[in-house]
Amino acid sequence: MVKEIERAGLPVVHVCTVTPISMTVGANRIVPAIAIPHPLGNPALSKEEELHIRRCICETALKALQTEVTEQTIFDVKY
């Protein structure tokens, strides 16, 4: 789906846990997530800590969308 969105002319970032799959599928901008059942959260943390990691991932996603790339790129999240 990321490829079709990209093909339609929209820059797209793929937030996912298993980044090798994203690379194989062909996403160009990739942000690693936390875990398969909760990519942008972590039930083991407090509500506030969980919001913090979600903000960090979303910030990184926005940063990826604002970064020119010429090849498939993984943007690591700083927590």
**75 near another protein, rule: CB under 8 A:** no
Which residue among 46, 70, 76, 78 contacts another protein (CB under 8 A)? 70
**57 near another protein, rule: CB under 8 A:** yes
> CA dihedral defined by 6, 69, 58, 77, rounded to 10 degrees?
140
Q: Single out the residue of 21, 19, 42, 41 nearest to residue 31, CA to CA.
A: 19
Q: How distant is the alpha carbon of residue 49 from its chain centre?
A: 19
Neighbour count for residue 76 (Cβ, 10 Å) = 9
Q: Within positions 21 to 40, which residues make up the interface with another protein, using CB under 8 A?
A: 21-22, 24-29, 33, 35-40
**74 near another protein, rule: CB under 8 A:** no
Residues that bind another protein (CB under 8 A): 1-18, 20-22, 24-29, 33, 35-41, 43, 50-51, 54-55, 57-58, 61-62, 65-71
